[in-house]
Amino acid sequence: MKDYVINIQQKETKVINIKEASTVYSFKGTSKLIIDNIQKNETQVLKLLEKQYPKIPKDKIKSDYLDFVSSLTQLKITKNNIEKIYFTKSTPLKFATIEITNACPFRCDHCYIPNIKKKISLIDYKKIVNELLKIGCTELLITGGEPMSHNNFVQMYLYAKQKGFIVSINSNIYLLNSKILEILKEYPPRIIEISLYGHDNKSYNSFTHAYGVFDTIDKNVNLLLKNNLNVGLKTVLTKRSKNYIYKIKEYADNLKVPFRFDYIIFPKEDKTLINPERCSVSEIIDVLNQDREVKKFFERRVRNLNTNIQKSNRIFQCSIGDNRIFIDAQLNIKPCLVVPIQYNLKNTGIEEAFTNFQKIKSTYKFEKEHKCMTCYKKAICRYCPGKFYMETGNYDNVPSFYCNLADEIIKEFGKND
């Protein structure tokens, strides 16, 4: 059955998957016929249903109709507030990330984005969003670079919201302004995940090589919170940030917002090279040991490791290509950010590329016995063929760093077992 995405005439424009709106209707096609004729009254719709399903008892038709309409009412959808209905295909693709630009006002040493700066035009962006909508995608992450540096950021964000997408944003929010804030207040995103690179101007200066910006970041974070927008804070563990990363966590705790950090940063995208800002195994262990909550988290992870995993010869053992895609600023569509299997949207449609990713993923297999095939430590080492490829040029050539890291984490945080 197809999905139905409905825009309603409210400021908090919603996406509703009508197939999931009610689980009580019992015969296929009821929802489509009701939605197709939602402007008609009950008697008219019931007559259409009875004609469409002559073998179904009339009382059953009416019962299913009333149940379904009740579900719409609970979702605050009525014939008077519907603005537009989109009929979409039902495909596994539900989540898309769009890198609208890879430009950024900061010059962080750890950044994996190449030096050549690109951005997606508003015309191409609208084509992408329209195609995503047609094939049933409902969630969108707008990212960069720094997405707010795109001169059409507001129009892009609004276009996705007005098409009914559930939209999230990744941003450093340095470029947040009153116009963007007003749009976010009127059409709130699911979440704004903010990348923090310091806890004061000095740490920010060192990390981003942009001077005196923390005060602006701090003001903008508080503006978003003051306007009841959903905010999450995140950062990366690097040679520079390892000495003050828990100061950033303390900042987040004081604001009572979620915080997370990644202890393995991406290799450089424009060449096969270990990122020089990546901390060593011993440095990572030392940082993880400095915070009680973080220590408890890793103790639980080690304690809950499943040592009896099933042998698999598949190189890609994650969910890439299953329900999500990544589109970069050069219009390349990939199964995820770090896997360089790609098509360009100038030559290949999104649905075709997504279908191909699902097929291609299954073709990558270990040619012979490999230590990763039965290794239970993959959840700890953060097993990722894409990252391996970026460092070694091969999906199955695992750098020793990842194995050593897993061993040391298990050794350090499994002491009490």
Q: What is the pLDDT of residues 308-343, one digit of tens each?
A: 888 888 899 887 778 899 999 999 999 988 888 999
Q: Which residue has the higher pLDDT, 80 or 382?
A: 382
Residue 83 and residue 114 share a domain: no
Task: Find the angle CA(147)-CA(137)-CA(25) to the nearest 5 degrees.
Answer: 145
Rounded to 10 degrees, what is the CA torsion of 343, 346, 352, 353? 20
Residue 270 and residue 155 share a domain: yes
Tell me which amino acid residue 80 is: N
Inter-residue contact 45 to 1 (CB < 8 Å): no
Residue 58 and residue 181 share a domain: no
As to burial, measured by CB atoms within 10 angstroms (0-12 exposed, 13-18 middle, 19+ buried), residue 354 is: buried
Residue 218 and residue 175 share a domain: yes
Residue 209 and residue 186 share a domain: yes
User: What is the reported pLDDT for 82?
Assistant: 60
The model's confidence at residue 77, banded by pLDDT at 50, 70 and 90, is low
Q: Strand 332-334 vs strand 343-344: parallel, antiparallel, or unpaired?
A: antiparallel
Q: Where does a domain end: 41, 73, 88? A: 88
| Integer Cα distance of 42 and 57 in angstroms | 17
Q: How many domains does the chain have?
A: 3
Residue 139 and residue 65 share a domain: no
Bridge partners, 98 (sequence order): 142, 327
What is the DSSP code (8-state) at residue 371?
A: G
- Is there a domain that residue 41 lies in? yes
Q: What is the mean pLDDT of residues 61-89?
A: 68
Residue 175 and residue 126 share a domain: yes
Q: Give the tokens for residue 197.
A: 């690179």
Residue 143 and residue 213 share a domain: yes
The beta-strand segments (E) located in 68-187 are 82-88, 95-99, 139-143, 166-171
The model's confidence at residue 70, banded by pLDDT at 50, 70 and 90, is confident
User: What is the reported pLDDT for 244?
Assistant: 96
Give the dihedral sign, CA 336/338/341/346.
positive
- Is there a domain that residue 337 lies in? no
User: What is the reported pLDDT for 90?
Assistant: 66
How confident is the prediction for the chain on average, in pLDDT? 85
Inter-residue contact 310 to 362 (CB < 8 Å): no
User: What is the reported pLDDT for 169?
Assistant: 97
Residue 71 and residue 154 share a domain: no
- Is there a domain that residue 286 lies in? no
User: What is the reported pLDDT for 19?
Assistant: 41
The model's confidence at residue 271, banded by pLDDT at 50, 70 and 90, is low
Residue 167 and residue 115 share a domain: yes
Whether pLDDT at 115 is above 80: no
Q: What is the mean pLDDT of residues 40-66?
A: 83
Whether pLDDT at 94 is above 80: yes
User: What is the reported pLDDT for 41?
Assistant: 84
Give the CATH number of the domain where residue 224 resides.
3.20.20.70
Inter-residue contact 90 to 138 (CB < 8 Å): no
Lowest mean pLDDT, pick from 50-64, 147-161, 369-383: 50-64
Instruction: Indicate the SS3 state at residue 19.
Output: helix
* DSSP string covering 305-319: --S-PPP--BS--S-
Question: What is the domain extent for residue 51?
Answer: 3-88
Instruction: Indicate the SS3 state at residue 199.
Output: coil
Instruction: Indicate the SS3 state at residue 388.
Output: helix
Whether pLDDT at 57 is above 90: no
The values of phi and psi at residue 46, to 5°, are -65, -40
- Is there a domain that residue 341 lies in? no
- Is there a domain that residue 292 lies in? no
- Is there a domain that residue 289 lies in? no
Residue 148 and residue 67 share a domain: no
Q: Give the tokens for residue 237.
A: 């563990």
- Is there a domain that residue 253 lies in? yes
Rounded to 10 degrees, what is the CA torsion of 387, 389, 395, 398? -70
User: What is the reported pLDDT for 274?
Assistant: 75
- Is there a domain that residue 69 lies in? yes
Q: What is the mean pLDDT of residues 25-37?
A: 57
Closest CA relative to residue 229, chosen from 276, 265, 176, 266: 176
| Integer Cα distance of 231 and 253 in angstroms | 12
Q: Where does a domain end: 32, 66, 88? A: 88
Mutual angle of helices 281-288 and 292-303, in 10-degree steps: 110
Q: Where does a domain end: 88, 110, 126? A: 88
Inter-residue contact 153 to 147 (CB < 8 Å): yes
Residue 148 and residue 225 share a domain: yes
